[in-house]
Amino acid sequence: MSLPVGAKACGGPEGYVAVSAANADAARALAARHAAARRAENAAAPEVRSNCRMVMDPGAQCVAGRCVSGQNAAM
Domain that holds residue 16: 2-72
DSSP assignment letter at 65: T
So what's the pLDDT on residue 47?
Answer: 81
pLDDT tens sequence across 9-21: 888 999 998 888 8
| Local confidence band at 73 (pLDDT 50, 70, 90 cut-offs) | low
pLDDT tens sequence across 39-68: 999 889 878 778 889 999 988 887 887 878
For the beta carbon of residue 10, count every other beta carbon within 10 angstroms. 13
Are 58 and 26 spatial neighbours (Cβ–Cβ below 8 Å)? no
User: What's the structural domain count of the chain?
Assistant: 1
Are 62 and 19 spatial neighbours (Cβ–Cβ below 8 Å)? no
State pTM to two decimals. Answer: 0.77
